[in-house]
Amino acid sequence: MTKKAGMSDKNNQQNPGDRIAKVMARAGLASRREAEAWIAAGRVAVNGAVINSPALNVTASDRIAIDGQPLPRRERTRLFRYHKPRGLVTTHSDPEGRPTIFAALPKDLPRLISIGRLDINTEGLLLLTNDGGLARVLELPATAWLRRYRVRAKGRVMQPALDKLREGITVAGVHYGPIEATLDREQGANVWLTIGIREGKNREVRKVLETLDLQVNRLIRVAFGPFELGDLGDGEVKEIESQALRTELGEKIVTEAGADFDAPLVDHDARPVASRHPEVRAKRDSRDDESPRRVHPNDKKKQPRRDRTGGPRPKYPR
């Protein structure tokens, strides 16, 4: 039988099962942090009783409901590459009424959450998954996957100044770790750079380049770890096949995330619970962090195109 919320951590560790926020995250409804916020807001019930603390272990025999709706059964871990256009926010709902990536996605996709975020003016590769456990692991600083960007910025800079960023830099009291930066070319009043970061702190690329008197006017993420933007057009989303996904993630990440590649696939006719109800989220920074499904007007196909940013394409190490 499930213990009541508010039990001690020691007793919880003796109780079989997993923490309820972890179970909710693995169902693809939210991150663990967001799940904990839903619990605090009284949106979650276990075996018919509303809980107010995430300090609770649950098993497969427990009945979990969010906003009165049963927790969806866990399905196969899936990961999608998405080319986020400018002008969309990375959230399920926006208090300012701005358009969101989740409203723009095809309706036949499963419940998805983003791995990290890109701010409204940043475009390019955004990874989406139905597994909150996987999202959490890939966002952890310890995972330290390289995020690579193509950057257009107004101003002039020489390579030696960019090389100094490999030592890390502190801006307004915030320390940023080593940054890989290469000057690709000059174009009018702008320069094109390739930037590689591993932390993905809030507006990291923009803030660091400001210290070099460079004003970023276009920021495109082209790779996240081993996953590349490639030729995905604006708004396109493409699933990574399970076998390739498991290989790229590696056994360490698969085990730590508790990813499940043997569970069944499920058809989804409804949108996520998070998008049907007022969203309660914990504070989270916006980040600078297989047939294509298109969301272009009129659903017109586009031919594969060359690098739309201009300049050479970078390599994509992890």
Q: What is the DSSP string of 51-94?
A: ---S--EE-TTS-EEETTEEPPPP----EEEEEEPTT-BSSS--
What is the CATH code for 79-239? 3.30.2350.10
- DSSP letter for 178, please: -
**Cα–Cα distance, 103 to 11 (Å, whole number):** 42
Residues of the chain with CATH 3.10.290.10: 9-71
Catalytic annotation, residues = 119
Residue 264's pLDDT is: 73
How does 137-171 read in b/e, with b if 16+ C-beta sit within 10 Å?
bbbeeebebebbbbbbbeeebeeeebeebeeebee
Among 260, 287, 142, smallest CA distance to 205 is for 287
Residue 268's pLDDT is: 53
Q: Which residues pair with 221 in a beta bridge?
A: 124, 149
Q: What is the CA radius of gyration of the chain?
A: 21
Class of domain 9-71: alpha beta
Q: How far is the CA of 309 from the CAs of 32, 152, 184, in angstroms?
A: 36, 9, 11
**What does each of the 318 residues of the chain score in pLDDT, given as a tens digit?**
344 444 444 444 456 788 898 888 777 677 788 889 999 999 999 999 999 999 999 988 899 999 999 988 778 899 999 999 999 999 888 889 899 999 999 988 988 889 999 999 999 999 999 988 899 899 988 898 999 999 999 999 999 999 999 999 999 999 999 999 999 999 999 999 999 999 888 899 999 999 999 999 999 999 999 999 999 999 999 999 999 999 999 999 999 988 888 877 765 554 444 433 444 444 444 445 533 343 444 444 444 444 444 544 444 444
Residue 269's pLDDT is: 52
Regarding beta strands 215-224 and 227-228, do their DSSP bridges make them parallel or antiparallel, or are they unpaired? antiparallel
CA dihedral 246, 252, 255, 257 (to 10 degrees): -80
Residue 41's pLDDT is: 93
**Cα–Cα distance, 154 to 132 (Å, whole number):** 38
- What's the pTM? 0.72
Residues of the chain with CATH 3.30.2350.10: 79-239
Residue 204's pLDDT is: 94
Residue 260's pLDDT is: 87
